[in-house]
Structure formats: structure tokens, C-alpha cells
Amino acid sequence: MIAVPEHIFNAMENWGLITYSENGMLYQEGVTSEVSKNFAAILIAHEISHQIDARVYASFCVSVRFIWVLFVYICDFNACYEWFGNLVTPEWWDDLWLNEGFATYMMFLGVDAVTPEWKMVV
């Protein structure tokens, strides 16, 4: 994961690398607003959920200690999640909803694991 100054998109997942805009990824306790913290957690959880093997990111994120690191551990216990990443994609665009839907669902689970007081999953 890398923060890029003046990145055109909020984030872009690539095989083995996720690039984020600095505004979308960086968060500083006591300085950044709660809304920005929420946005960063959701954005990062969503992009990580697109990766084919979240276990790789678990070892990386533990050393960096991001607030959303628990999301990676959720994925680590389920090998089937690997099939919903960018390596195995739908046969045609009509089925892209499955890839995005799964990523969105995992995004909410991840954010809920890190900040349960936000009640992202009921």
C-alpha cells in the first residue's frame, strides 16, 4: 500500500500494490476528523478486499499498525476469499456486481471489526 500525492483516484488496486490518494489514506489521531477516519477505513478495507490473498497484507499491515489491520485477519481465516480478488474475475461485465458486492460486504465487516462503535454491520 502506498499513498500518492495528487493521485487522480481515491484508490486503485493492482495485483500486489494498492495506491491511494494521500487524502484518502492518511489519518492522524486528534487532527483528522471522524468523517475522514471513517472514509479512510472504508476505502482501505474495500481496496484490500479486492486482493487475492489478504494473508500477504496481514504480515505487512501488522508492522505498519494501521487502524484497519483487523480487516486483514478476517480474510486470513477464509481461503475462499482469494477467489473474489482481481486474479479470478467474472466471465463478463454482467457479473462484475459479484466482485464489487463481495468487496463492499468485506469492507463493512472489516471496518466493523476495527471500530464496532460505528455499527457498520448489524
Under 8 Å between Cβ of 82 and 53: yes
Would residue 13 show up in a list of annotated catalytic residues for this protein? no
Set 6, 29, 47, 91: catalytic member: 47
Q: Residues with catalytic annotation?
A: 47
